[in-house]
Amino acid sequence: MADGERAAAMVRAEGVRKRFRRTEVLKGIDLEVRSGEVLCLIGPSGSGKSTLLRCVNHLERIDDGRIYVDGELIGYRERGDALHELHEREVCRQRSAIGMVFQRFNLFPHMTALENVIEAPIRVRHDAKADATERATALLARVGLTHKAHAYPSELSGGQQQRVAIARALAMRPKLMLFDEPTSALDPELVGEVLAVMRALADDGMTMIVVTHEMAFAREAGHRIAFMDDGVIVESGAPREMLSHPEHARTRAFLSRLLTHPIT
Amino acid sequence: MSSREVTTRVVPLPRPGLWIGSAIVVVLAALIAVSVFRNPNIQHGVIAQYQFAPAILRGLELTVVLALLAAGIGLVLGVMLAVMRISASPILRVAGAAYTWLIRGTPLLVQILIWGNLALLFEYIGPFRTNDVLTPFVASVIALGLNEGAYMAEIVRAGILAVDRGQVDAALALGMSRRLALRRIILPQALRVIVPPAGNQFISLLKATSLVSVIAGGDLLTAAQNIASSNLHTIELMLVATFWYLVLTTITSVAQHFAERRLARGHLGLHGGR
């Protein structure tokens, strides 16, 4: 691998394996996401999409392989022929540059929307409160929630909560955003507002990995789609081609199931 | 649709049981009140004389200090034990469980007697004479604090386990350390579950301080007993003590109520949010 090529890649996964007890969930994943690229990960539930995403910011340890983000090996230090897990301090530093948005939002329920957004900048980046608040206000405006800054999560709709969660992740100025089925827990009529925010983010050039069942989003905002099944990436390619002319039978089967029983 | 001119009267179902039950309770309460307040064997003058006596107030103060110190030790110890019990290390988990098993499995009175008589076991603690270091007060604080810790551990652990797993994920993904996530995200949410049983626990503790009278702990009950043993007005002095215990537990209940209301922030529930 030439150095120039690695530098252009925001995320590089090489032979990533992960097992939970006896079950191998990731069976050697090779993946590359270029800077500014939006990669949509699709596939049946249990195929390992979410686990792969959680390995990228080391929420899960991996059993083999390597993951680089912006050229830096995630979670481990290579010494001799072994990978040594990094000290928590180092892992935290790496994670703070990678934003993550969850299926169930996971906003902190005891804090207002604004407090959710300024928490990590103040406690982790040690920003001044005034600066963090100013930036958080701008981010909440960007996701269209200026008027909800002082509302608690329980007073927000699912779509609003997810938009706050996106603002919260962006507050750490991440170079990469991970989305784990960000619209799967939403009522159908609320999906659009979240996708609109994500689309705007993609247009701004954010590097994104999006685990999703939203084929319309994948087609319009995604630069590339990767199809995962049973712990491997079966194929990947440009959205239109992948969705209309999938190469592999497994991809075809998945897509036809999705068309007959669309997951909203 | 406008309201109709003729309204039918709404007659609720009669519930005579409620009335009969209420009547019985009122009569019983009246009988008890009369038997206490009109009892010729209770000298109300003695109660009035000792209610605010300096010795009683000193005992009251000591009871409050004792309870607060023990609660402080119990809280710190309880959080430590709770974290041990959910840690990744089996040794820490077993040690935490064993502590709880030992303390909860033995009477507090026995623990107080052991701490109060520790000099019989160890004459010296390091370079110091045990009886100089372990005064009845210190022994009382230690015995009550260590006991409180075991109970608080269970309460704190239940509180931590009640917090959604996704909260840890979200905190870690933002770059927080485990410690920071525990302090800023997990414990504040756990507190909502912890406060109601912890309030109960503190009320139990306030009353349990009376047990230290067996090692002359100098608490409220000790003070009342000392006076009673010289003037033989036992019931009167117990009523004096009873009054103060009720004052303390009432204050605690009120404080607990406000703490619960404040912690309900962000939660639309029984308390209606803010």
Is the CB of A99 less than 8 angstroms away from the CB of B173?
yes
Structural domain contains residue B216: yes
Q: How far B145 CA sits from the closest chain A CA (Å)?
A: 30
Which residue of A61, A108, A184 is the best one to mutate when testing the B interface, meaning the one whose CB has the most B CBs within 10 A? A108
Structural domain contains residue B79: yes
For A108, the closest of B167, B178, B192 (CB atoms) is: B167
| Mean pLDDT, residues B141-157 | 95
Is the CB of A96 less than 8 angstroms away from the CB of B174?
yes
CA–CA gap between residue B253 and residue B199 (Å, rounded)? 7
CA–CA gap between residue B251 and residue A10 (Å, rounded)? 59
Would you state the pLDDT for residue B139? 92
Q: Which of B23-32, B94-103, B130-139, B145-154 has the lowest mean pLDDT?
A: B130-139
pLDDT at B131 over 90: no
DSSP, collapsed to helix, strand or coil, labels residue B223 as: helix
**A51 contact B CB<8A:** no
Would you state the pLDDT for residue A262? 56
Identify whether the C-beta of residue B264 lies closer than 8 Å to the C-beta of residue B271. Answer: yes
Write the CA distances from B270 to A35, A150, A255, B102, B198, integer angstroms: 49, 21, 46, 37, 19
Exposure of B178 by Cβ count < 10 A (0-12 exposed, 13-18 middle, 19+ buried)?
Answer: middle
Provide the strand spans (E) within A35-174: 38-42, 64-69, 72-73, 76-79, 82-85, 98-101
Structural domain contains residue B44: no
Nearest to B61 by CA among B137, B144, B139, B146: B137
pLDDT at B271 over 70: no
Q: What is the pLDDT of residues B208-265, one digit of tens each?
A: 999 998 888 889 999 999 999 998 889 999 999 999 999 999 999 999 999 888 887 7
Q: How far A97 CA sits from the closest chain B CA (Å)?
A: 8
Would you state the pLDDT for residue B273? 39
Structural domain contains residue B35: no
High-pLDDT (> 90) share of chain B, %: 64
Would you state the pLDDT for residue B265? 73
Task: Write down the residue that tokens 């009673």 correspond to.
Answer: B228
CA–CA gap between residue B113 and residue B56 (Å, rounded)? 23
Would you state the pLDDT for residue B272? 41
Q: What is the pLDDT of residues A96-110, one digit of tens each?
A: 999 999 999 999 999
Which residue of B174, B189, B270 is the best one to mutate when testing the A interface, meaning the one whose CB has the most A CBs within 10 A? B174
Locate B165 and state its tokens: 């797993």
**B176 contact A CB<8A:** yes
Q: What is the pLDDT of residues B184-212, one digit of tens each?
A: 999 999 998 999 999 999 999 999 999 99
pLDDT at B8 over 90: no
Would you state the pLDDT for residue B5? 67
Residues 6+ away with beta carbon under 8 Å from A35: A8, A9, A10, A207
Structural domain contains residue B13: no
Identify whether the C-beta of residue B206 lies closer than 8 Å to the C-beta of residue B255. Answer: no
Would you state the pLDDT for residue A169? 97
Between strands A98-101 and A9-20, the pairing is: unpaired
Locate A23 and state its tokens: 């079950």
CA–CA gap between residue B215 and residue B142 (Å, rounded)? 13
CA–CA gap between residue A139 and residue A147 (Å, rounded)? 12
Q: How many domains does chain B have?
A: 1
Buried (b) or exposed (e) across A123-139, using 16+ Cβ within 10 A? bbeebeeeebbebbbeb
The residues pairing with A42 across neighbouring beta strands, listed in sequence order, are A227
Is the CB of B268 less than 8 angstroms away from the CB of A155?
yes
Residues 6+ away with beta carbon under 8 Å from A25: A18, A19, A48, A51, A231
For A104, the closest of B166, B174, B177 (CB atoms) is: B166
The rounded mean pLDDT for chain B is 89
On whether ipTM exceeds 0.85, the answer is yes
Structural domain contains residue B14: no
Would you state the pLDDT for residue B126? 81
Q: How far B265 CA sits from the closest chain A CA (Å)?
A: 6
Q: What is the CATH number of the domain that holds B92?
A: 1.10.3720.10
Compute mean pLDDT per 10 residues along chain A, 264 residues long, and list them. 58 95 93 95 92 96 94 92 92 96 95 96 96 97 96 95 97 96 92 94 96 90 94 93 89 85 54
pLDDT at B81 over 70: yes
Structural domain contains residue B182: yes
> What is this structure's pTM?
0.80
CA–CA gap between residue B198 and residue B206 (Å, rounded)? 12
Locate B222 and state its tokens: 């000790």
Would you state the pLDDT for residue A263? 53
Buried (b) or exposed (e) across B97-113, using 16+ Cβ within 10 A? eebbeebeeeebeebbb
Residue numbers in A near B169 (CB within 8 A): 59, 100, 102, 106
pLDDT at B105 over 90: yes
DSSP, collapsed to helix, strand or coil, labels residue A98 as: strand
Structural domain contains residue B156: yes
Identify whether the C-beta of residue B184 lies closer than 8 Å to the C-beta of residue A119. Answer: yes
**A100 contact B CB<8A:** yes
Residue numbers in B near A172 (CB within 8 A): 174-175
Is the CB of A100 less than 8 angstroms away from the CB of B173?
yes
| Structural domain of B140 | 49-271
